[in-house]
Structure 1
Amino acid sequence: MSSENGPHSTRATVETFFRLLGERDADRVADLFAEEIDWFVPGREDIPWAGRRSRRQQVPEYFITMWPVFVAGESEVAIDQVVVEGADAVALGHFTHTVKANGRRFGTPVAMHLTVRDGQIVRLHLYEDTQLAAEAIGTVGTPRQDF
């Protein structure tokens, strides 16, 4: 089991995950995942990146689907705290994006639960406000300004 110590620690893997996200390297992010995974982003069906994934090869699809929706270089990922206990890590923070199609900027608080085993991520559950994202993207209503 992974812990905060050792070369395959939960904390080191999570830190690498966030670094590679910042570099927008979907394939290298995918390399951090086990072959079989429990990936879940609950939310609206009109948000194409929401939903479940169960295989490593589905990881890049998530980012390749999401990243083009937003203006490159204008997204901000602020991770305020990462709490690690054994194989589990919970990251708390805030994502801010600008929608490429309409210029709307929005932010959402996020919580992400990751589980690492033998240096590979086996679980990623991301909780964000997909209703707000759908409104900003223009798939429903008008975006709230609550960030």
Structure 2
Amino acid sequence: MAETFVERLGRQDPDGIQELFAEEIDWHVPGSDALPWTGRRTRREEVAPYFTTMWPHFAPGRSKVVPERVIVDGGDVVLLAVWTHTVVATGKEFTTSAATHLTVEDNRIVRMHLYEDTLTVEKAFNAG
């Protein structure tokens, strides 16, 4: 399941990612009002809009994801990576380490929590 999630993420396939999730989910991406895709989500149909809201903010062809490790413990999967993106509105590039914690039950993702340096991300969106 995690491999399929990562593969569809790399293709930027929001609908394909969404179909991997259970109907009811525990989704959390910390952030702020400056990052409109952040926050909690509880339903499968909220997954694709997360990506379609977020991706346009990053310059196409200027993102880099370096996977570092995948840790599996039963139904829990932790994906460790370093992400670099360039913000369209400011032209600022940022890099942050990130951990994505997925929980899989009955072959569906029921939990997705993202841990990243949200202050670094928010600063890249700040024009000042």
Q: TM-score, normalised by structure 1?
A: 0.83
One-letter code aligned to 1:24: Q
**RMSD, matched Cα:** 1.1
One-letter code aligned to 1:101: A
Query: Could you tell me which residue of structure 2 aligns to residue 111 of structure 1?
Result: 99
Deviations 1:99-130 (A, max 9, x none): 11221111111011100112110000001111
Gapped regions of structure 2 (runs ≥ 5): none
Query: Could you tell me which residue of structure 2 aligns to residue 56 of structure 1?
Result: 44
- Quote the Cα distance in structure 2 between the aligned partners of 1:79 and 1:62: 21
Question: Residue 113 of structure 2 is aligned with which of 101, 117, 125?
Answer: 125
Which structure: larger Rg?
Answer: 1
One-letter code aligned to 1:118: D
Between Structure 1 and Structure 2, how many residues are aligned?
128
Contact persistence 2:98–2:114 (CA under 8 A):
yes
Deviations 1:47-79 (A, max 9, x none): 111110000000011101100000112111222
Moved over 6 A (4+): none
Query: Could you tell me which residue of structure 2 aligns to residue 18 of structure 1?
Result: 6
Query: 1:1-147 counterparts in 2 under 5 A?
Result: 13-138=1-126
3-state DSSP class of the match of 1:100?
Answer: coil
Q: TM-score, normalised by structure 2?
A: 0.95
Bigger fraction of residues in strand: 2
